[in-house]
Amino acid sequence: MTSRAFKENAFRLYLYFSVAVGVVALGALLLRVLIDGFGFVDEVLLFNPPSSNPDRAGARPAILATVWLLGLVFGMAVPGGIATALWLEEFAKKDRWYNRFLELNIQNLAGVPSIVYGILGLAFLVRGLGLGRVLLSGSMILALLVLPTVIISSREALRAVPDSIRQGGLALGATRWQVTFRSVLPAALPGIATGSILALSRAIGESAPLVLIGALTYVAFDPSPLNAFTALPVQIFQWIGQPQAEFKSLAAAAIIVLLVILLMMNLAAILLRNKFQRKW
């Protein structure tokens, strides 16, 4: 074998191995969770409140709180994110320093560690505003956390709408505002929806900032926005930290529930994309 052929094959082997690391790790992770937790996904887990007795402990308040969070974060982050994206893409003068600063700021916010958002919540929402360690505080923090992601994906969707659509509208005498809301936004909506769902699925899996603002508590009642809460990932974290092995199995079972919720959200995003995506 010539040295060139040897290098070629060695390199190929390295590439295959690289790909395998990610795929095998994903497989091992899913398998581990399924083996540990599948037997524990039952009505006790879904419908019981947490308990110090692993046989009776469930995740009902955590699951309901996660559904609440989903709705509240959606209501706050998505309109705000779309509005910002519309401003930056359709109205702002891009060469002005303040708009460029805005853009840089959003890109940086997307990379700020989630625990820092938790500190923000601790300082302003929980103590500053006196809102306390409640579900509403948690949802506001998560909304701020995913806002940059929603903005960035919405901007990409808006940018994918060809300029001829805008020019056609303007040529017919529509104002910029009319063109934006009657032509561009409807055309970009499937892309925006897909990106927003993916951003929301990130919020649902997030636990670090919630832990910091005090979601790691024993909550036996069904959640509401102005009460103490614990979300599903936080419940998982709490169970992982228990010394008894049964709680580890419960954690694995709750992970399965969480992954199923995320899977459904991702499926919805993919279906939306496939059904409504247009090639221009």
Partner 1 sequence: MAATDAFGKAQPASRRLGSARRRWGEDVGKGVLALCACLSIATTVGIVIALLLPAIEFFGTVSISDFYTGTNWAPLFEPAHFGVVPLVLGTLKITFIACLVCVPFGLGAAIYMAEYARPRIRAVLKPSLEVLAGIPTVVFGYFALTFTTPLLRSIGIDVDIFNALSAGIVVGIMLIPTVASISEDAMQAVPAGLRQGSYGLGASKYQTSTRVIVPAAISGIIASFVLAISRAVGETMIVAIGAGLMPTMTVDPRLQTETMTAFIAATGIGDVATGTIAYKTIFAVGLTLFVMTLFLNLFAIKMVRRFREVYE
DSSP 38: G
- Our CA angle for 116, 200, 43, nearest 5°, is 105
* Residue 17, token pair as written in the block: 């191995």
Question: Residues of 2-19 as b/e, b for ≥16 C-beta within 10 angstroms?
Answer: eeeeeeeeeeeeeeeeee
Closest to partner 1 by CB, 193 vs 204, is 204
Cβ of residue 18: shortest distance to partner 1, in angstroms? 3
Question: Residues of 244-259 as b/e, b for ≥16 C-beta within 10 angstroms?
Answer: eeebbbbbbbbbbbbb
Cβ of residue 216: shortest distance to partner 1, in angstroms? 5
Cβ of residue 113: shortest distance to partner 1, in angstroms? 3
Cβ of residue 118: shortest distance to partner 1, in angstroms? 7
Cβ of residue 74: shortest distance to partner 1, in angstroms? 16
CA pair distance 158, 115, nearest whole angstrom = 31
Closest to partner 1 by CB, 224 vs 262, is 262
Closest to partner 1 by CB, 160 vs 240, is 240
Closest to partner 1 by CB, 64 vs 197, is 197
> Could you tell me which of 221, 222, 213, 253 has the C-alpha nearest to residue 236?
253
Closest to partner 1 by CB, 147 vs 184, is 147
Backbone angles phi, psi at 134, to 5 degrees: -115, 170
